[in-house]
Amino acid sequence: MKKQRFVFLIGSLKKGGAERNLSRVASALSARGHAVHLILFEKKIEYPLDAGVQIIDLALSQYKNKLVKLFMIYWRVTSTVWSIRPRYALSFTRLGGQFLASTLYPRVITRYDAYPFFFKKRKWITSMIMFNLPNVRKVICPSSELRRHVRKYYVRKSKLHLLYNPVPDVASSTLDTPVATSRPYFVVVGRLHPQKRIEVILEAFAGSVARASYDVMILGDGYDEARLRKRAEELGLQDRVIFKGFLADPYPMMRHARALLSASSKEGFPNVLVESLFLEVPVLAADCLTGPSEIIVDGVNGYLFPVGDAATLRKQIDLLVTDEALYQTLRQQAKGSVAKFDQDLILNQWMEVLA
């Protein structure tokens, strides 16, 4: 692909799956010599970017009135995109995609960052209408399950492209950093938000045989922390559940875990499951929409359980601590099971879509 200009739009690069994936794709394009412009509503950057990426800060916090802010977003995004005239203008979030579609710039790429039908009907219908506009050339789906569910709402179905989220290059991570823990542990990684259903994990762990000799490390922060701490105390787990907060580099802690636990009620594509398997750590995950069923294969790299089913999760936790032969098999098969999510492979697929 000859050298091109690309524009990316997102609210900020705060911690989050869409933000992390955008930073990887934008950096890959910049590293290959393309001119990459990143429009931010707020200049908050928590993921690494290639030095060549040009930041355009809209500084929207200065506008207090909601209608004024919406107008300024539309006007400034539209004028910026049309002045740069990129090969493609891309957004990795639903709202960002709608703003880009509304500019009527003729080459827009949008992406689903979450399963759309969990939103209120008005919101997902709005996004379907906007993403069907002819100037939206391509719509990226992070899982085949999501693509299958939205397909019937598109007039031109060929604009839907499946692109998984890439496994990060963890070679630069300090994987050998010692982890100071007195007991072996399971790990939970993610925002402390009701969507993550972490209380299901606490309830399962409370009744498991693992409780006697294992801890649960929770890596992440969020407004649900107080409620989860209270629930842990109610279950008598205050000395077994450790809230570590957000870690900029969670991989050393993940790498030494017995397994990663995930109980989410919904996902766009759960990156952390792939990252855990890449680190040879088995996964026990809720079979929610969308993504886990495309990552986890029962008895190969972990197990799935029905959303909200603490009893089944408890049995799976017990299995992983009582059957050492099975556990070692899961570990040995984990990394190979996520080869299709390799970062270089996915980024090359992005280059093909953007050509």
Tokens of 196: 């993550």
- Say if 308 falls within a structural domain: yes
- Say if 347 falls within a structural domain: no
pLDDT > 70: percent of the chain: 97
pLDDT > 90: percent of the chain: 80
Structural domain span for residue 210: 170-341
Instruction: Give the chain's radius of gyration (CA, Å).
Output: 21
**H or E, element range at 302:** strand 302-305
Are 27 and 149 part of one and the same domain?
yes
Structural domain tally of the chain? Answer: 2
Are 157 and 20 part of one and the same domain?
yes
Please check the confidence at residue 254 and state whether its pLDDT lies above 70.
yes
Are 200 and 327 part of one and the same domain?
yes
Boundary residue ending a domain (163, 193, 227) = 163
Are 110 and 74 part of one and the same domain?
yes
Boundary residue ending a domain (137, 163, 189) = 163
Instruction: Give the model confidence (pLDDT) of 317-351 as tens digits.
Output: 999 999 999 999 999 999 999 999 988 899 999 99
Are 129 and 237 part of one and the same domain?
no
- Say if 47 falls within a structural domain: yes
Instruction: Give the model confidence (pLDDT) of 40-85 as tens digits.
Output: 998 989 888 999 999 999 888 778 888 988 898 999 999 999 999 9
Tokens of 20: 């992390």
Dump the DSSP string for 177-222.
Answer: -----SS-EEEEES--SGGG-HHHHHHHHHTSGGGGT-EEEEEB--
Are 312 and 189 part of one and the same domain?
yes
**What CATH code is carried by the domain that includes residue 177?**
3.40.50.2000
Are 188 and 254 part of one and the same domain?
yes
Are 26 and 159 part of one and the same domain?
yes
- Say if 46 falls within a structural domain: yes
Are 192 and 255 part of one and the same domain?
yes
- Say if 78 falls within a structural domain: yes
Question: pTM, whole model, 2 decimals?
Answer: 0.85
Are 97 and 208 part of one and the same domain?
no
Boundary residue ending a domain (111, 146, 163) = 163
Q: Are 86 and 4 in contact (CB under 8 A)?
A: yes
pLDDT greater at residue 271 or residue 139: 139
Instruction: Please report the pLDDT score of residue 15 as a whole number.
Output: 76
- Say if 105 falls within a structural domain: yes
- Say if 223 falls within a structural domain: yes
pLDDT greater at residue 280 or residue 14: 280
Instruction: Give the model confidence (pLDDT) of 169-214 as tens digits.
Output: 665 556 667 677 889 999 999 999 999 999 999 999 999 999 999 9
Instruction: Please report the pLDDT score of residue 171 as a whole number.
Output: 53
**Separation between Cα atoms, residue 40 and residue 33, nearest integer Å:** 21
**Separation between Cα atoms, residue 52 and residue 50, nearest integer Å:** 5
Determine the average pLDDT of the residues in 88-102. Answer: 96
Are 195 and 327 part of one and the same domain?
yes
Which residues pair with residue 304 across a beta bridge? 285
Q: Are 192 and 218 in contact (CB under 8 A)?
A: yes
Instruction: Please report the pLDDT score of residue 248 as a whole number.
Output: 79
* Banded pLDDT at 102 (limits 50, 70, 90): very high
- Say if 354 falls within a structural domain: no
Q: 17-31, 106-120, 243-257, 307-321 — which one is most confidently predicted on average?
A: 307-321
Are 223 and 279 part of one and the same domain?
yes
Determine the average pLDDT of the residues in 223-241. Answer: 95
Question: What is the side-by-side strand order in the sheet with 160-162?
Answer: 54-57, 35-40, 5-10, 88-91, 108-111, 136-141, 160-162
